[in-house]
């Protein structure tokens, strides 16, 4: 009905937009080792405004590490990152902390485990970043949090503590906490892998809605059917390299590379 349309238009207004038409995020030559173990060999990734990029691949292939490099949780050994046509950040172990932090402010991550503060209520968890880190007025942050919690079906849970929620509800709070930071880019690190199977659907449908509203996302997932449904591009990684990338239907249904074929057949 028209109410729905109005609500959708209203929510779309939340979605940050870039007008430049360049990729929102462009990463080239990303490298990362832990000790002698080279986890990312030389990865290129780019995602346009409003697109969803799904990173798939076997466990240990470097997907999470790549994601953590994108928002500055890991310090890459080498590579260049460009955000929304802004200054290129050239990574080396000597890259100043503040440059890494400038990337971190652009994106927000939803973790495998929700990482909520156990001693804080749902509402406190959601406003912590906006108020303490971003220094936004508390009243505004609360109003925003209330609205976002409502959206994901957690309107009645403001005063609950994380342990009083189901895993799926906790993860939806995790998503709201990321949205409350008003990032340009949402990063999801296997957001449903720690959930009981019956709770996965609710979380995936929230992510799908966000994708439909035009949020730009990089999503690490084992849910290949979901990747096919929401992603604009699928990147298959194995052993720290990008083996194959392309349209989800093409990569998942007609993989060109043997390694992709084996992986996809096992899971689809």
Host H or E run for residue 250: helix 248-253
SS3 196: coil
The CA angle 227-232-233, to the nearest 5 degrees, is: 80
Shorter beta-carbon distance to ligand ADP: residue 193 or 205: 193
Distances (CA, A) of 159 to 18, 121, 126, 155: 36, 5, 11, 10
Shorter beta-carbon distance to ligand ADP: residue 60 or 87: 60
Minimum distance of ligand ADP from residue 32's CB (angstroms)? 8
Q: Does 65 bind ligand ADP (CB under 6 A)?
A: yes
Distance (Å, whole) CA 8 – CA 145? 18
Contact set for ligand ADP, span 71-110 (CB under 6 A): none
Minimum distance of ligand ADP from residue 221's CB (angstroms)? 10
Q: Does 57 bind ligand ADP (CB under 6 A)?
A: yes
Q: Tokens for 75?
A: 């310090």
2 to 41: interface string for ligand ADP, x by CB under 6 A? --------------------------------x----x--
Shorter beta-carbon distance to ligand ADP: residue 73 or 120: 73
Q: Does 62 bind ligand ADP (CB under 6 A)?
A: yes
Q: Does 192 bind ligand ADP (CB under 6 A)?
A: no
Distance (Å, whole) CA 131 – CA 140? 9
CB 220 within 8 A of CB 189: yes
Could you list the residues that contact ligand ADP (CB under 6 A)? 34, 39, 57, 59-65
């Amino acid at each position: 009905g028209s109410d729905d349309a109005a609500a959708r238009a209203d929510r779309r207004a939340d979605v940050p937009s870039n007008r430049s038409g360049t990729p929102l995020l462009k990463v080239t030559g990303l490298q990362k080792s832990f000790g002698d173990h080279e986890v990312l060999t030389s990865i290129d990734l780019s995602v346009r405004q409003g697109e969803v990029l799904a990173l798939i691949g076997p466990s240990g292939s470097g997907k999470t590490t790549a994601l953590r490099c994108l928002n500055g949780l890991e310090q890459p050994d080498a590579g260049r990152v460009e955000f929304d046509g802004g200054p290129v950040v050239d990574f080396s172990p000597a890259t100043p902390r503040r440059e890494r932090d400038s990337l971190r402010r652009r994106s927000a991550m939803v973790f495998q485990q929700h990482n909520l503060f156990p001693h804080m209520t749902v509402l406190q968890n959601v406003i912590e970043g906006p108020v303490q880190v971003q220094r936004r007025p508390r009243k505004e942050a609360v109003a925003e949090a209330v609205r976002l919690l409502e959206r994901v079906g957690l309107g009645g849970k403001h005063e609950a503590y994380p342990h009083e929620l189901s895993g799926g509800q906790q993860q939806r709070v995790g998503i709201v906490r990321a949205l409350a930071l008003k990032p340009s880019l949402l990063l999801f690190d296997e957001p449903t892998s720690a959930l009981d199977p019956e709770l996965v659907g609710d979380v995936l449908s929230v992510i799908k809605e966000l994708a439909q509203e035009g949020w730009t996302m990089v999503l690490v997932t084992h849910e290949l059917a979901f990747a096919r449904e929401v992603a604009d591009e699928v990147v298959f990684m194995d052993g720290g390299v990008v083996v194959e990338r392309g349209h989800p239907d093409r990569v998942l249904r007609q993989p060109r590379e043997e390694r992709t074929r084996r992986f996809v057949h096992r899971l689809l």
